Amino acid sequence: MDISRCCACALVLSGALIFVLGGSWGEVAVSTSPLSASTTGSVALAPEPFHCPLAIKDADIVSPFGQRDVIVASTAAVSTAPKSEMHEGIDYSAAPGTEVRAARSGKVIFAGFSKMYVSRADKNDQSRLVIIRHADGQSSRYVHLGAFRVRPGQDVRSGQVVGVVAESDEWVAPVLHFEIRNIQGRAIDPETVIKEVEQP
């Protein structure tokens, strides 16, 4: 075989390849730069919003988040004395038996009784409490329930019934106490969070 002829063929083929890659055929461009982290990383999904735990439009909030004065029965006399406390959630007015729904998807980490939310001086009463931990580490709490509809360890979806409002409570009318806590366990104002996600 003629070596000069083989070299000529190789040069022709190389030129054709250079033409295809560097020319305008199909506007093909070859990138030699590395992919950026934002391109190769996982797609960031927007967090699931919190919703009102009552399926009632414009549910009435009778006690907002923040410092408040409560009336506690005196043990020494029938008179009452005001007591200042930090209210770490919001209280919705609701009729007994009203369904309480998960404000967000997550896992039930507690469904039982607690004295934490009793304001009476004797602290003899216990409130039914459900705590749901969400995927981002935040949690929501549902207090003053008359019955449970979930159990510890159960996965729940947003809007799923977790319990019903109790027949009576510490206030004149039954309420649902609702809390949202961040990943550090600090209470945040649920009204603010719900308003943010419901704005158009």
> Both 135 and 74 in a single domain?
yes
Domain that holds residue 18: 3-30
> Both 75 and 115 in a single domain?
yes
Mention every residue, 6+ apart, whose C-beta is less than 8 A from residue 163.
99, 100, 128, 130, 142, 145, 146, 147, 148, 149, 150
146-198: pLDDT as tens digits: 999 999 999 999 999 999 999 865 566 789 999 999 999 999 999 998 854 44
**Reported pTM:** 0.69
CA-nearest of 177, 178, 173, 179 to 95 is: 173
Burial zone of 143 (CB within 10 Å; 0-12 exposed, 13-18 middle, 19+ buried): buried
The answer to the question of residue 95 being in a domain is yes
DSSP string, 116-145: TT--SSS----EEEEEEE-TTS-EEEEEEE
Alpha-carbon distance 152 to 163, whole Å? 13
Alpha-carbon distance 57 to 27, whole Å? 57
The answer to the question of residue 55 being in a domain is no
> Both 115 and 186 in a single domain?
yes
The answer to the question of residue 50 being in a domain is no
For the chain, the distance separating the N- and C-terminal CA atoms, rounded to the nearest angstrom, is 78
Note the pLDDT of residue 81.
65
80-98: pLDDT as tens digits: 667 777 788 999 999 999 9
Note the pLDDT of residue 117.
75
| Domains held by the chain: number | 2
> Both 78 and 11 in a single domain?
no
> Both 104 and 194 in a single domain?
yes
> Both 78 and 170 in a single domain?
yes
Among the ranges given (27-31, 135-139, 142-146), the one the predictor scored with the smallest mean pLDDT: 27-31
User: Where residue 99 sits, what CATH number does that domain have?
Assistant: 2.70.70.10
Note the pLDDT of residue 38.
38
Q: Residue 99 half-sphere exposure, CB side, CA atoms within 13 Å? A: 11
